[in-house]
Amino acid sequence: LALKRRLEWRGLDGRVVSVSRGGGFPSDADMVFIGGGSDRVQRALSGELERRKEEISDAIGGGAVVLGVCGGFQLLGHSYTDATGTTVAGMGLLDITTIVEAPRLVGRVVIDAQFAGHDMKVAGFENHGGRTSLGPGAAPLGKVVRGFGNNGADGTEGAVQGNVVGTYLHGPLLPSNPALCDALLRVAFSRTGARELTPLDDRLERAAHDAAELRR
């Protein structure tokens, strides 16, 4: 919704296509978003996402950007091992692996992030049992200023590998972080040679960001 609105406010069209299990995948996608879910949902969808890896990889090869949040972030990696010890395969589009451990990592997060050549502070909320480790192929989305991040140990949060971005931050992520939202849109538009995005009046969004950054 945030991505679509920020396009509409600039007089641009944004078409959202929901992809369900067994449904068609738009070959001209500029952006792919994969949200979160419970362990049960991740187990149920892991096979479907594996089967769609080629479609999503083709979209990335054409310049599309991919964003995965929480469960979506985990399934963009090589594998996810849940609290029962069951391991499900991910798509391998990010060089990460995730293993669930207790306790859950819960609370407000602020990170110093960098994406597509833009430095920004990103604020949100995390609630995950997964401990995610980055391999050499992925870079962190940001450095933790406050909160736990990927694993509560190495100070990293999220991952970036080419046009693929993953993060644990909810909060909501995009409405309260307009700089990140627009950075994703710029990457998505770069494949079409579109012009630079027109600046918007982000006073409300910045207030939401500041509140998220300060909230305990």
Tokens representing 135 are 């391999």
Mean pLDDT of 38-66: 87
Which of these, 65, 19, 62, lies nearest to 183 by C-alpha position? 65
> Measuring CA to CA, how many Å separate 120 from each of 1, 65, 128, 163, 177?
21, 18, 23, 17, 9
pLDDT tens for each residue of 92-118: 999 999 999 999 999 999 999 999 999
CB 184 within 8 A of CB 31: yes
CB 181 within 8 A of CB 23: no
Which of these, 106, 70, 98, 96, lies nearest to 161 by C-alpha position? 96
Which of these, 133, 139, 140, lies nearest to 111 by C-alpha position? 140
pLDDT at 196: 80
pTM for the full predicted model: 0.94
Residue of 70, 128, 181, 209 marked catalytic? 70
> Measuring CA to CA, how many Å separate 43 from each of 74, 88, 91, 108, 132?
12, 7, 13, 27, 17
pLDDT tens for each residue of 133-180: 999 999 999 999 999 999 999 999 999 999 999 999 998 999 999 999
**Over pLDDT 90: what percentage of the chain?**
75
Label residue 195 by pLDDT band (50, 70, 90).
low
Residues forming a β-bridge with 139: 160
- Catalytic site includes residue 170: yes
Is the pLDDT reported for residue 216 higher than 70? no
**Over pLDDT 70: what percentage of the chain?**
98
- Catalytic site includes residue 70: yes
Neighbours of 206 (CB within 10 A): 14
Residue of 78, 128, 170, 181 marked catalytic? 170
